[in-house]
Amino acid sequence: MKKFEDKFFNILINRYGFYIKDYFSQSNNENKWVAISENDNYAYCVIVCDENNANVLYTEAYEQLSKMFTKPVAINVVIATKRDEISQEYLGQYNKLIYSLTEERAVYSGDGCKPLLKVCEYMGEKEKKHKNRFKDNKLTYILIGLNILIYILTAIMSRSLLDSNTYVLIRLGAKVNELINHGQVWRLLTCAFLHGGIMHLAFNMYALKIIGSEVEYVFGRKKYLIIYLMAALGGSIFSYIFSPYSISVGASGAIFGLLGAMLIFGIKHRDKIGKSYMMNIVQVIIINIIIGVSLSNIDNFAHLGGLIVGGVTALIVKSNLEKSFK
């Protein structure tokens, strides 16, 4: 349901000029998002939920949104369900739209939700066009594939699948200050594509898939690649300056740069995307910093450098969604 909610709200924001606010739901004990479009006369709002507590969420949202606006508030509820049978409770209700997640279409719409049928139709068309997930996140998968291929080479040369031999890592391009001082500056970039072990690779590639997909969508492939490479380079430079005796490898500096880019995007558009989005990014960054400080053999300066350079680069290149948020 969360995935459907994200897609539905993205279309409302990017195609129809809505913006996002969040409110606290006591029944769910969590923050919920609401998409809002307003004019001089009223505020038109949309919430997405499952069918278990749609009426309760509507009441909660109405009470809180009525306090936010001095103008009248109209709320439509989009109910996402996997059930084959439509709940009779919501049939005939003016402000309800029921979307079948299994059939991927709207199966019921009250008169007040008729405009939202266009969103459902557009979502269906977009799903058909982008059925191949590789096309959506092409660069992210290419980067993951490149890292995996390089790790396979490292494993063969190390004669171990689990752990990489230090001398092999140095031979393939790890960050070693003494060698960089002797002219091997390319190590500042190549070290970002090497990993010290299978778990190191797995954690980084999982993070890259989650965060990279977001950055690729928000910034586009070219700008995403610029942010990734600049953050990788920035992380290595910070490591070179502040950890001169470490032999450093890993994509985490670049990944922290992607987090920095999304943080900048969230700050610039905090009024449009809501507090929850911002808090999620900040929490991920804080958790990763705590993990880095708590464990040994973690190059925290590379993380910090990547975060800063990725954020600064994002400020310069700007996201592809800038016009949509104006």
Residues 274-318: tens digit of each pLDDT: 666 677 778 778 877 777 766 667 899 999 999 999 999 999 998
Q: In this predicted structure, what is the pLDDT of residue 52?
A: 81
CATH number, domain at 290? 1.20.1540.10
Q: In this predicted structure, what is the pLDDT of residue 2?
A: 78
Same domain membership, residue 263 and residue 138: yes
Question: What strands, in cross-sheet order, belong to the sheet with 19-25?
Answer: 19-25, 30-38, 43-49, 73-81, 96-100, 105-109
Same domain membership, residue 141 and residue 124: no
Same domain membership, residue 146 and residue 31: no
158, 239, 303, 319: which is the annotated catalytic residue?
Answer: 303
Please state the pTM of the whole predicted model: 0.64
Same domain membership, residue 69 and residue 55: yes
Residue (of 45, 34, 36) closest to 113 by Cα position: 45
Same domain membership, residue 208 and residue 90: no
Q: What would the two tokens of residue 106 be?
A: 């709207």
86 against 93, higher pLDDT: 93
Count CB atoms within 10 A of the CB of residue 284: 16
Q: In this predicted structure, what is the pLDDT of residue 24?
A: 84
Q: Which pLDDT band holds residue 128 (cuts at 50, 70, 90)?
A: low
Dihedral of alpha carbons 114, 115, 118, 119, sign: negative
Under 8 Å between Cβ of 208 and 306: no
Please classify residue 266 by burial: count the beta carbons closer than 10 Å to its beta carbon, then call 0-12 exposed, 13-18 middle and 19+ buried.
buried
Q: In this predicted structure, what is the pLDDT of residue 255?
A: 95
109, 158, 252, 319: which is the annotated catalytic residue?
Answer: 252
Most confident stretch, 19-28, 89-98, 227-236, 275-284:
227-236
Residue 195: active-site member: no
For residue 102, pLDDT over 90 is answered with: no
Which of 131, 165, 182 is the last residue in one of the domains?
Answer: 131
Percent of the chain with pLDDT over 90: 52
Same domain membership, residue 285 and residue 188: yes
Give per-residue pLDDT as tens, 155-208. Answer: 999 999 999 999 999 999 999 999 999 999 999 999 999 999 999 999 999 999
Under 8 Å between Cβ of 167 and 200: no
Residue 248: active-site member: no
Which of 108, 131, 154 is the last residue in one of the domains?
Answer: 131
Same domain membership, residue 252 and residue 141: yes
Classify 191 as helix, strand or coil: helix
Which of 104, 131, 158 is the last residue in one of the domains?
Answer: 131
Same domain membership, residue 64 and residue 174: no
Domain ranges, residue 60 = 2-131
Decide the pairing of beta strands 96-100 and 73-81: parallel
Number of domains in the chain: 2
Same domain membership, residue 243 and residue 292: yes
Same domain membership, residue 151 and residue 6: no
Same domain membership, residue 148 and residue 112: no
DSSP E strands in 91-144: the ranges are 96-100, 105-109
320 against 36, higher pLDDT: 36
Q: Which pLDDT band holds residue 6 (cuts at 50, 70, 90)?
A: confident
Same domain membership, residue 165 and residue 305: yes
Average predicted confidence (pLDDT) for the chain: 88
For residue 135, pLDDT over 90 is answered with: no
Q: In this predicted structure, what is the pLDDT of residue 257?
A: 96
